[in-house]
Structure 1
Amino acid sequence: MGTGKRGLIAVAVTVVCAVTVLAVPGTAFAAPSPTPTPSATSNATSNAASDATSKVEPSKDLEAVREKLDKLYHAASVATDAYNAAEEKAEKQSAEIVELAKKIVKGQERLAELKDRAGAAARAQYRTGGLPDEARLMLSDNPQEFLDGTGRVLQGQRATKGLIAELTRTQQDLEQYAKDASAQWQELEANRQAKATAQKKIEKQIAAAEKLESQLEKEEKERLAELEEQAAHQAQTAWLDSGILAEINGKASAQGKKAVKYATAQIGKPYEWGAEGPESYDCSGLTSQAWADAGHGIPRTSQEQWKQLKHVDIKDMRPGDLIIYFDDASHVAMYVGDGAIIHAPRPGRTVTLAGAGTMPILGVVRPDA
């Protein structure tokens, strides 16, 4: 995991930029509603595309292409969350297996010690000849000395019983440690397989999106970027027109300010699925590392951030809070104030400042509630 930190730039950089700028980030990777009017380009003809990996018609509908790209990248984002969750669980299980191994080693050492002591006690009893205490009293030349010794024998017997009980408990503990370790190994293997499955899906979706984009002419790519900007602008404008920004006036906590400062310093770094910095990030890698830098650990994935962190009303959100997007909680961004977010959008993009309303908002969570 990346834990290196780079120099932080001032939080004020573009955070208080004009609403018109925030409304055109050109980085949202999922189609908000409503969408702009479809547009077509090029008059040449060729075979129609049947899927994302087929040849794209020169007369293609670029709006349909944009929507297809959104779906591909969204599917990759969902798979990335699954990959990150499996990785986090695998790391936790590996650590638990190490701790169990240490307990097993200590238990085996303790068991060997107890067996040595039990053997010594058995040998001592054997040396007494195994006679009953009454016979030993009658045969003793000094009955008083024998009686004095009897108390010590009783103490030894009680100690021996305690020794046997501890030996039994130690053996039971070792058996349980072994069972726990076996269960953890099985879980670890299951999560390794889940990671591999998610990785294949991520790579497949991204490859399909990249192939689709590679079939576009330069002018078509430029027009596609314009369509993305128009869709983001339209969604952000609708969000602002609701008047919600007038209700949002929360002040960042001390830790929230640190988290925002960290996130701001990452602007311009590339998106990379599964990455947690310091050179690249995915969406939840950015938010989790920003809050880790602020001294407050949070779950690694956007879905777990949505499940585990405290939910707050959108009108009550403050800089440093996390906005969760889409019904499946597959994307997360950090709110930085003035209707803006910082997020890692998708493959091929960089960490950027955008409008908070450019994607469908599921809800808001507060790490330091």
Structure 2
Amino acid sequence: MPALASHRKPRTRLRATSPAVGLTTAALASVTLLSTQTATAAPAKPAPTIEEVQKKVDGLFRQAGTATQKYNEAKSASAKQRDEVDALLKAAAERADKLNETRRELGRYATAQYRGGSIAPTATFFLADDPQSYFDQDQLMSRMTSRQQKAVADFRTQQREAAAKRVEATKSLQTLTESQAELRTSKQEVQEKLSEARSLLSKLTAEEKARLAELERKKEAEAKRKAEELARQQAAAKAEADRAAKEAAAGQDTGSGTGSGTGTGTGTGGTGSDAGYASKAEKVLAFARAQIGKPYVWGATGPSSYDCSGLTQAAWKEAGVTLPRTTWDQVKVGTRVATADLQPGDLVFFYDDISHVGIYKGDGMMIHAPKPGANVREESIYYMPIYGSVRPA
């Protein structure tokens, strides 16, 4: 029986090149791609506000200030280490000269021994670079004169000293290399922070820069208000101290009638020590005022530019007081004083990391070298958070 033919309609297989299939595939691919992008794409980050930019820039300048102090510290250490290395190398050269002179003297003894027909080991001893192995031979030492024995003893001493100096110089050179590496690192850190701050500021529009300047004016106004309040408090305290001093003096005059007139007085400039400090402070402030308008340059110590601790160091040098190079060391010099008790000439330090310093001039104001892009100027001590204050002398 013949097989029956199938009544099913054969399927028509669409080719991949079919326009309908191509359109459908492209559409599906587009939908899939868009869906994937929508699911994975991060939301656009909003532009920072002017307040955030100001905070960021201030933070970068502060970090640059800290790095500047690290640079100053490394530079001072490097200079000190270089001087020590030079001294050690000079000492090692002097030791070598003495050693060579003693070696020549031993050579003359050896020559004399040879001409006199003495035993060969004696000459060997004199001419050896290291006569230690021969030194313990009693029979050899007994053949030498006291002068020869002294020359040998001197030679051994000088050998040890020269070797010790070479070792010391080598260690000092290694320390110098480390200080110079730290110097380069700190310099790079300063440059990076300043470059980042400048980059942020350069991207601001004219309107944003105007708003940033307005924020700065408000900050300065608030700092000035606090300075004026401190000035009123200090004036009131001084007036009260003067009144008390007058009453005490009047009481002495009318009390026993035998007053000697040796009262010490109170208030600023009342005692001999206060007067001495005030005299030094006048020199310090006269110098600092003369620097107003000169640019801040990190690492600079004058005379054409300064960083903050470079200015304070140079100013107090005018009064005969030598301050260390960094803020971290300057804060340890002298006597700590409260903000309410500040006197002209005192040093005021800022931030928790003690990365900035200014010279108090009175009335809540200071003279300082602020930051890169700014000049030495007078400003309220409340412009930055105060860490503490010292009286250097």
Q: Aligned pairs, how many?
A: 289
SS in 2 for 1:272: coil
Give the superposition deviation at 1:92.
Answer: 0.9
- In the TM superposition, what are the counterparts of 1:36-51 in structure 2 within 5 Å? 48=45
Change (3 A) 1:257 1:170: farther
**Which gives a bigger RCO, structure 1 or 2 (Cα 8 Å, sep 6+)?**
1
1:329 aligns with 2:318: no
Structure 1 residue ranges without an equivalent (≥5): 1-46, 50-56, 132-153
1:214 aligns with 2:202: yes
Higher helix share: 2
AA matched with 2:303: P
Q: Residues 233 and 358 of structure 1 are in contact (CA less than 8 Å); yes or no, is this contact kept in structure 2?
A: no
Give the superposition deviation at 1:322.
Answer: 1.3
- In the TM superposition, what are the counterparts of 1:212-291 in structure 2 within 5 Å? 212-238=200-226, 240-241=228-229, 245-246=234-235, 247=237, 250-251=268-269, 252-291=277-316
Q: Residues 223 and 381 of structure 2 are in contact (CA less than 8 Å); yes or no, is this contact kept in structure 1?
A: no
- In the TM superposition, what are the counterparts of 1:177-196 in structure 2 within 5 Å? 177-196=165-184
Deviations 1:30-86 (A, max 9, x none): xxxxxxxxxxxxxxxxx756xxxxxxx4xx532222111111111111111111111
User: Matched residues, percent identical?
Assistant: 37
Give the superposition deviation at 1:186.
Answer: 1.2
Q: Residues 232 and 359 of structure 1 are in contact (CA less than 8 Å); yes or no, is this contact kept in structure 2?
A: no
Q: In 2, Cα distance between the equivalents of 1:294 and 1:241?
A: 30
AA matched with 2:336: V
TM-score w.r.t. the length of structure 2 is 0.67
Q: In 2, Cα distance between the equivalents of 1:245 and 1:213?
A: 39
TM-score w.r.t. the length of structure 1 is 0.71
Q: Residues 298 and 306 of structure 2 are in contact (CA less than 8 Å); yes or no, is this contact kept in structure 1?
A: yes
SS in 1 for 2:383: coil
Show structure 1 runs of 4+ deviating over 6 A.
none
Q: In 2, Cα distance between the equivalents of 1:225 and 1:163?
A: 80
Deviations 1:3-49 (A, max 9, x none): xxxxxxxxxxxxxxxxxxxxxxxxxxxxxxxxxxxxxxxxxxxx756
1:103 aligns with 2:91: yes
Structure of larger gyration radius: 2
- In the TM superposition, what are the counterparts of 1:149-160 in structure 2 within 5 Å? 157-160=145-148
Change (3 A) 1:48 1:349: farther
- In the TM superposition, what are the counterparts of 1:351-366 in structure 2 within 5 Å? 351-366=376-391
Deviations 1:188-219 (A, max 9, x none): 11122112211221111111111111122334
1:312 aligns with 2:336: yes
- In the TM superposition, what are the counterparts of 1:332-347 in structure 2 within 5 Å? 332-347=357-372
Q: In 2, Cα distance between the equivalents of 1:256 and 1:165?
A: 59
Structure 2 residue ranges without an equivalent (≥5): 1-43, 120-141, 239-266, 270-276
What is residue 70 of structure 2 aligned with on the other side?
82
Change (3 A) 1:240 1:165: farther
RMSD: 2.5
